[in-house]
Amino acid sequence: MLKVLLLFLLLMAGIVLGPIIAGHQGYVLIQTDNWNIETSVTGLVIILVLSLLVLFAIEWLLRRLFRTGARTRGWFLGRKRSRARKQTKQALLKLAEGDYQQVEKLMAKNADHAEQPVVNYLLAAEAAQQRGDEARANQHLERAAELADNDQVPVEITRARIQLARNENHAARHGIDQLLEITPRHPEVLRLAEQAYIRTGAWASLLDIIPSMQKAQVGDEAHREALSQQAWMGLMDKARAEQGSEGLKQWWRNQSRKTRQQPGLQVAMAEHLIECDDHQTAQEIILDGLKRQYDERLVMLMPRLKAGNPEQLEKVLRQQIKTHGDRPLLWSTLGQLLMQHGEWQEASLAFRAALKQRPDAFDYAWLADVLDRLHKPEEAAAMRRDGLLLTLQNNPPS
């Protein structure tokens, strides 16, 4: 608008001033090495005005051309974005159907023009891995890494998931360790870490992430407790495999008091020591655990002990019966220990006390053996019959 106004003013000035200066046009000489240009002042002004008009016309033409090019380019880009959006929706439906070949094809096609190209490439990589095409999965991963710039966490999570699917467990663990440094409470990273650490036997690392799993609410309390138990068992197995019974005992002594007082770990440690034929240390752990709190798992290990000190075990069992009442397991365990030492009469009383509270096929069988020792064959046969009937009742033939 300003340019049009300027041209209009120049035209008006020419109309007004033209006649005035008609007789006084002046003289202009432009001289170069090879040319001499002679004209009047009026002619020079007209040339300048025409030159401006030509420049304005060229500018307008170029602007229209570039605007048309940008509009055309925008139309093509918008068409590609629309197509990418449509293909992404189709790919998600195919993902629900489990058609991974179509998922990869639709996600990767026009992925550069999608709203979230990194997400498209990552889903395409996982779909390719599901089809077993590792080369294509790697290509999609690398393209996603290029587009992700500084936000590489989703890419590395997908890479670790794919590596675990390929059983490249140590490679996955390396990547997961780095992810935990960046985002230590990311739920998916913690879930992948759980898998990687179990597969590679990294039990100490597994124990380290359990508090973070609790804060991030990954799994329930029972699941985390089972993981903790599995990790401790793994550490025990490792210590026993490397240094035998002595190494296992040294490892146990190096643990904190809080750790050594966990009933589940006491049970596992006693079982390991019994397998190593170190019954004396196993008995010490069992008795120490029962002094602190009653745990049936510790009681059930007593008949397996061969420490040469049965009187101490029998004393503890009788004390447990006084403290916790007539529990069938305590009486049954006491009867088994008395059997081992030939105290048949006392053993029969213990088994009868256990059976009085609940029928059990094993207690019937043990009592029958005791009654044979006491020369009571008819009663022994009756106990075996009752035990057999109970077994058939609990396990009816198909």
Q: Are residues 398 and 317 in the same domain?
A: yes
Query: Among 374, 377, 397, which residue's Cα sits nearest to residue 385?
Result: 377
Q: What average pLDDT does the segment 192-197 reach?
A: 95
- State whether 249 and 286 are in the same domain: yes
Structural domain boundaries, residue 263: 243-308
| Three-state secondary-structure class, residue 107 | helix
Does the residue 317 lie in any domain? yes
The answer to the question of residue 279 being in a domain is yes
**CA distances for 1 relative to 7, 11, 317, angstroms:** 10, 15, 107
Asked if residue 277 is part of any domain, the answer here is yes
For residues 268 and 344, state if they share a domain: no
pLDDT computed for residue 298 by the predictor: 93
Measured between alpha carbons, how far is 281 from 163 in angstroms, rounded to an integer? 43
The predicted-structure confidence for 85-109, as pLDDT tens digits, reads as follows 776 667 676 667 777 677 677 777 7
Q: Are residues 339 and 361 in the same domain?
A: yes
Q: What is the DSSP string of 122-134?
A: HHHHHHHHHTT-H
Which of 291, 308, 325 is a domain's end point?
Answer: 308
pLDDT tens for each residue of 163-185: 999 999 999 999 999 999 999 99
Gap between the terminal Cα atoms of the chain: 99
Query: 327 and 302, same structural domain?
Result: no
Note whether residue 62 is domain-resident.
no
28 domain residue, yes or no: no
Q: What's the number of domains the chain is made of?
A: 2
Check: CB of residue 358 under 8 Å from CB of residue 336: no
Residue that is last in its domain, among 255, 273, 308: 308
pLDDT at 69 over 60: no
Burial 259-285 (b: 16+ CB within 10 A, else e): ebebbebbbbbbbbbbebebbebbbeb
Q: What is the share, in percent, of the chain residues with pLDDT greater than 70?
A: 80
Could you tell me the CATH number of the domain that includes residue 390? Answer: 1.25.40.10
- The answer to whether residues 304 and 328 belong to one domain is no
Give the lowest-confidence range in 148-152, 266-270, 349-353. 148-152
Query: How many other C-beta atoms can be found within 10 angstroms of the C-beta atom of residue 55?
Result: 10
User: How many CB atoms are located within 10 Å of the residue 172 CB?
Assistant: 24
How confident is the model over 294-346, as pLDDT tens digits?
Answer: 999 999 999 999 877 778 899 999 999 998 888 999 999 999 999 988 899 99
Residue 216 within any structural domain of the chain:
no
User: Do 324 and 396 fall within a single domain?
Assistant: yes
Asked if 379 and 354 sit in the same domain, the reply is yes
User: Do 327 and 301 share a domain, yes or no?
Assistant: no
Q: Could you say which DSSP state residue 37 is in?
A: E
Residue 323 and residue 294 share a domain: no
Q: What is the pLDDT of residue 76?
A: 46
Q: In DSSP terms, which residues pair with 38 in a beta bridge?
A: 29
Residue 264 counted as domain residue? yes
Domain boundary among 308, 327, 362: 308
Query: Which residue(s) pair with 30 in the sheet?
Result: 37
Say if residue 355 is in the same domain as residue 396. yes
pLDDT at 179: 93
Report if residue 167 sits inside a domain.
no
